[in-house]
Chain A
Amino acid sequence: MTASHIGKLIKYLILIVFAIIFLTPVYVMIVTSLKPLDEVSLADMWTLPSAIDFSSYAHAFKNLAPNLMNSIYLVVPATLLSALLGAMNGYVLSKWKFKGSDLIFTVILFGMFIPYQSILIPMIQFLRTIDLYNTIPGLILVHVVYGLPITTLMFRNFYANIPDEMIESAKIDGASFLGVFRHIIIPLSITGFVVVAIWQFTNIWNEFLFAVTITTSDKQPVMVALQNLSGSQIVQWNVQMAGALLAALPTLLVYIFLGKYFVRGLLAGSVKG
């Protein structure tokens, strides 16, 4: 009895220590971002602010606001489009398998793992040719295309759980390919869409390599602006922390309120699902 109590205590202790370590960066971010300018010094990094001051948020927001908007213009259409295409592909690859469809799936899936450096130089030349370089639509195109493998994978695994009998009986009742998709698959896909949309939203919002190479200055998404903010020597680091929090806020909120779906997406990202 007591031995198991001690065991439990030790388990809690380990978990609490790690939880504190994991939360330390958040503490520093919040504390620093709330300090008035004259309390911001590296020596006082860990101390609480004497008074709560939002001026660094105002400063960071003024710097990041246009880029936050860019990110929203990018993320919303890119997420919706890649989810829709993923649903179409997943439907075919799970319920309308044909000879070679598994091979096609593997060929698509490989695109999820490539280092994007290996397509970046042609991509930029291509975007210049079609006049989409340094535009948000250009970035949307890139994220839709390279989002296809993961959204296809997620929807394929999701649809694999819908019993084939449902599809078969609908077919016998005369429903066509599109009819089954519209009347059976789509209504059953709400959770799938939520999971995929959250995953794509988070990934595209947080993405940096495409953002920094395809856009410049006023077209840049927020992560590039944040990097610029922290890279510049003249910006106080309380502003950097406030900026980091602002830039992270949308995905953090999604995680806090829809964490269950986020984790499902995370698990679906491993191939076997």
Chain B
Amino acid sequence: MAKEIQIKNKKKISRDHWTAIAFLIPSFILILVFVYGFIGWTGYVSLSNYNTIVPDFSFAGLKNYLYLFKDFRFQADLRNTLFFTVLFIALVIVLGLGLSILIDQKLKGESIFRNIFLFPMALSFIVTGVVWQWLLNPSTGFNHFLKFFGITPKWYTDTNIIGGFQWGSIEFGLPVAIIAVVIAAVWQMTGFSLAMYLAGLRGIDESMREAARMDGASEFQIYRKIILPMLMPITMSVVIIMAHISLKIFDLIYAMTGSGANFVTDVPGVYMFETTFRGNYYANGAAIAIIMLLLVAVFIVPYLWSSRKGDNS
């Protein structure tokens, strides 16, 4: 009988399927044009001589890319992005995981703590930048207290490079000033990993911990041997999402420090903005943008691909 109905409805269902596709088409076309088409267009600009106010789309080959990779500022940007990304992700994960484990201990007032650690997520990077610019100002801010301990870091005004050695045209190493920006970014984004881990911890069956306790495992062992491995997929997601945020970061640094002396806090996002929209070097800006896109794609494409596979099974 069910089969009969199916046959009767077949014509209508297929018409409905066409309606469904029609529902999706406008958005899909918008994405094709505004995401993929525009990326192609940017790629085209990046291969042109459009480094002028008047558009000039004559073919320049890889000239702009070669220029960038020799450019002191861009080399500094890549260095800063590398150290920023590594420090930022490591701290967001360690803090988010640590705090979520503490909050998950069934303590009183856990929701208060959770809300406090999460609220910066609701703020704009601009607000964060404006405030932390003052908090990490070397002459005031936290140094007001730190000076009692005899420490007065120069924060984002420090031009030193830790472990620096000459590589290309820059001094390669960890720029001290980047640490200040990392602190602000971690303050803002720890809530994300905290929320993710907390959701993961809540999803772990209490009976598993019970069983491990019965077997004589200590709390520490339970976390190390059982809980952390179970949270691995969450850690992967956090790493990838934080990595893509950090690779394209612009507003926080633009509001908080700008490029900094010797470009110690400059990043590709800031360079792209300034060279394109303040300097009219459109082709150079486009080349930076394409490099940023490729860096992000290295993380995102495998991630999307694997979650698509996971969906199908």
A positions within 8 Å CB-CB of B: 8, 11-12, 14-15, 18-19, 22-25, 28-29, 32, 42-43, 45-46, 85, 88-89, 91-93, 96, 98, 101-102, 104-111, 113-123, 126, 145-146, 148-149, 152, 171-172, 176-178, 202, 205-209, 212-213, 223, 226-227, 230, 237, 240-241, 243-244, 247-248, 251-252, 254-256, 259, 262-263, 266-267, 269-272
**Which B residues, 94 to 123, have Cβ-Cβ distances below 8 Å to chain A?**
95, 99, 102-103, 105, 107, 112-113, 115-123
Q: Which chain A residues border B45 with CB–CB below 8 Å?
A: 121-122
Given known pairs A119-B34, A248-B127, the reply for A102 and B41 (CB within 8 Å) is: no
**B34–A15 touching, CB < 8 Å:** no
CB neighbours (8 Å) of A259 from chain B are: 115, 118
| Interface pairs (24), CB distance under 8 Å | A11-B107, A19-B117, A43-B140, A89-B24, A92-B20, A110-B300, A111-B35, A114-B293, A115-B296, A117-B248, A118-B292, A121-B41, A121-B45, A121-B289, A177-B16, A177-B23, A206-B125, A206-B126, A209-B250, A213-B273, A241-B130, A252-B123, A259-B118, A263-B195
Task: Say whether A104 contacts B28, CB under 8 Å.
Answer: yes
Is the CB–CB distance between B134 and A45 below 8 Å?
Answer: yes
Cβ contacts under 8 Å, A25 to chain B: 120, 128, 131-132, 135, 187
Q: Does B76 reach chain A (CB closer than 8 Å)?
A: no
B9 in the interface (beta carbon within 8 A): yes
| Complex contacts, A230 vs chain B, CB 8 Å | 130, 133, 255
Interface residues of B: mostly helix, strand, loop or mixed?
Answer: helix
New A-B contacts (16) at CB < 8 Å, excluding given A23-B116, A117-B293, A121-B41? A25-B128, A89-B23, A92-B20, A96-B17, A107-B28, A113-B296, A113-B300, A119-B34, A122-B42, A176-B12, A177-B23, A244-B130, A248-B122, A255-B118, A270-B196, A272-B237
Whether the pair A209, B20 counts as a contact (CB closer than 8 A) is no
On whether the beta carbons of B31 and A15 are closer than 8 Å, the reply is no
Task: Tell me how far the C-beta of B97 lies from the nearest C-beta in chain A, rounded to whole angstroms.
Answer: 13
Please report the C-alpha to C-alpha distance between residue A247 and residue B127 in the assembled complex, in whole angstroms.
8
Least Cβ distance of B179 to chain A in Å? Answer: 16
Given A15-B102, A119-B35, A119-B39: A202 and B122 interface contact (C-beta under 8 Å): yes
B157 in the interface (beta carbon within 8 A): no
> Contacts A115-B289, A244-B127 hold; do A92 and B24 have CB atoms under 8 A apart?
yes
CB–CB B293/A115 < 8 A: yes
Question: B120 touching A152 by the CB < 8 A rule?
Answer: no
Q: Say yes or no for B60: interface residue by CB 8 A criterion.
A: no
- Determine whether the beta carbon of B127 is less than 8 Å from that of A172: no
Residues of B within 8 A of A202 (CB): 122
Contacts of B134 in A (CB 8 A): 28, 32, 45, 237, 241
- Residue B21 is within 8 A (CB to CB) of chain A in the complex: yes
Chain B residues in 8 Å Cβ range of A252: 119, 122-123
Q: Does B247 contact A (CB under 8 A)?
A: yes
B310 at the interface (CB under 8 A from A): yes
CA distance A98 to B20 in the complex (A): 9
Known: A96-B20, A122-B41. A109 touches B304 (CB 8 A): yes
Q: Does B204 contact A (CB under 8 A)?
A: no
In the assembled complex, the Cα of A197 lies from the Cα of B310 at a distance in Å of 28
Smallest CB separation, B295 vs chain A (Å): 8
B43–chain A nearest beta-carbon distance, Å: 9
Interface 9-mer from B67-75, B164-172, B280-288: B280-288
Check B285 against A121 for contact (C-beta < 8 Å).
yes
Please tell me if the beta carbons of B99 and A226 are within 8 angstroms of each other in the complex.
Answer: no
Shortest C-beta distance, A71 to chain B (Å), equals 11
Q: How far is the CB of A42 from chain B (nearest CB, A)?
A: 4
